[in-house]
Amino acid sequence: MQSRRAGNVLAAFSFVLWGILPLYYQFLPQANINELLALRLIFSVPVMLLVMLLLKRPLPNVTELLADKKSFFMCGIAGCIMSVSWYAFTWAITHGEVLAASLGYFINPLFAIALGMFFLREKLTKAQVIAVVLAILGIAYQVWQYGELPWLSLLMGSFFAIYGLTKKYIKYDALTSVTIEAAILTPFAAIYMLWLYFSGDSVSLTSGTSTFLLYVGSAPVTVAPLIFFALALNRTSLTMVGLMQYIEPTLQFLLAVFLFGEVFDHTKAISFSLIWAGLIFCTLEALPNLFHKKRKVALPN
């Protein structure tokens, strides 16, 4: 029970860290997202290796990794997919679109449900069907009112869900997988940064030490919640993790409306409300299973 409680705390903490990430990126308004992504990839690898040493986890063995070619290949695919989601997310929170980021992660579980149905042949429950329908209605209402799709939100939500699906085909442990995903893309990121440096077009390398450190800092501040999340997965249930994931977009929503002063108009209120209603249905459906599992664990005592 103590392990499960620790897992719940770690999971909640990881989502809180993700939720307050927009606060960090307020120091980089209108940032060059290409450089942010490149430096995040480059410095994520040493950060992850350091974490493994601190946690006394074995460092990745190249021979063993290459023995599982499918997992290695899927790590490359996962890294590319995650980069798209992270690129959209970072652009949103550095360009006054934190509400779009919040919406993206609110609809992410619904994309995950749809992918599970189509690719893993999972059957939808009644609550999940209702949630998907309400989400479609919420997005459709925005399109009708604004005359355009909420591309940023859809990009973040869909690609993060695809990333989760891809991870199911990777047999490496969570920390190793994340390290390999970044390591595979690091050479491309390094070549890009060298090209910017020699062409004199780099923002991070020519704007002073503090700006450069803020760009580099995007690696540890985004890797930290991922580490706590990975540690939580082995200590708590996926159901609890699924319920806690709403902490992140909720905090982003509160920051956007009450701290950053983004406009939350009538259209967004109706759209968000429809999506929230669907998520409430899914949450209420999952709660009995969660409590049942807790009682089941407690019986031997």
Check pLDDT > 70 for residue 242.
no
Average pLDDT over residues 22-29: 90
Give CA–CA dist 223/225, Å, rounded: 6
* Measured distance CA(298)–CA(206) in Å, rounded: 59
Range of the domain at 164: 2-298
Average pLDDT over residues 44-69: 89
150-160 pLDDT, tens digit each = 888 889 888 98
Q: In whole angstroms, give the CA distance from residue 109 to residue 156.
A: 11
pLDDT at 288 over 60: yes
Q: Is the pTM of this model over 0.95?
A: no
Picking from 144, 175, 79, 84, the residue whose alpha carbon sits closest to that of residue 274 is: 144
pLDDT tens string 129-142: 888 888 889 888 88
Element (H, E) at 64: helix 62-67
- DSSP codes of every residue in 10-61: HHHHHHHHHHTHHHHHTTSTT--HHHHHHHHHHHHHHHHHHHHHHTTPPPPP
Q: What angle do CA 254, 151, 202 make, to 5 degrees?
A: 85
The pLDDT value given to residue 289: 59
Q: Is 271:138 a contact under the CB 8 Å cutoff?
A: yes
Q: What is the pLDDT of residue 192?
A: 96
- Report the number of secondary-structure helices (H) and strands (E) in the chain: 13, 0
Lowest mean pLDDT among 9-13, 88-92, 123-127: 123-127
The mean per-residue pLDDT over the stretch 181-197 comes to: 95
Sign (positive or negative) of CA dihedral 203, 256, 106, 295: positive
Residue 294 has pLDDT above 60, yes or no: no
pLDDT digits (tens, 9 = 90+) for 197-240: 999 888 888 888 899 999 999 999 988 887 887 777 667 665 56
Give the total number of structural domains in the chain.
Answer: 1
Q: What are phi and psi of 240, to 5 degrees?
A: -65, -40
**Model confidence pLDDT, tens digit, residues 71-86:** 999 999 999 998 998 9
